[in-house]
Amino acid sequence: MAEQVKKPKINVREIIGIILIFLLIFAALQFTLQSFRVNGISMETSFHNGQYILVEKLRYHFSSPGRGQAIVFDSPMPPHERLIKRVIGLPGETVEIKKGYIYINGVMLEETPEFAAIPYADDYSVTIPPDHYWVIGDNRANSSGSHVFGPVPRENILGRVWLCYWPPSQWGLSPHYSANIGNVVTASTSVL
Catalytic residue among 6, 7, 35, 42: 42
What percent of the chain is modeled with pLDDT above 70? 83
pLDDT value, residue 39: 93
Share the mean pLDDT of the chain. Answer: 84
Which residues 6+ apart lie within 8 Å of 150 measured at CB?
Answer: 76, 77, 126
Specify the CATH class of 36-185 in words: mainly beta
With 80 as the cut, is the pLDDT of residue 29 above it? Answer: no
What residue ranges do the domains of the chain occupy? 36-185
71-101 tens-digit pLDDT: 999 998 888 899 999 999 999 999 998 888 8
The reply to whether 144 belongs to the active site is: no
Catalytic residue among 46, 57, 85, 146: 85
Q: pTM of whole model > 0.85?
A: no
Q: What are phi and psi of 89, to 5 degrees?
A: -115, 145
Q: What are phi and psi of 126, to 5 degrees?
A: -155, 140
The reply to whether 42 belongs to the active site is: yes
93-129 tens-digit pLDDT: 999 988 888 899 999 888 765 565 666 657 889 999 9
Dist. CA 19–CA 38, nearest whole Å: 33
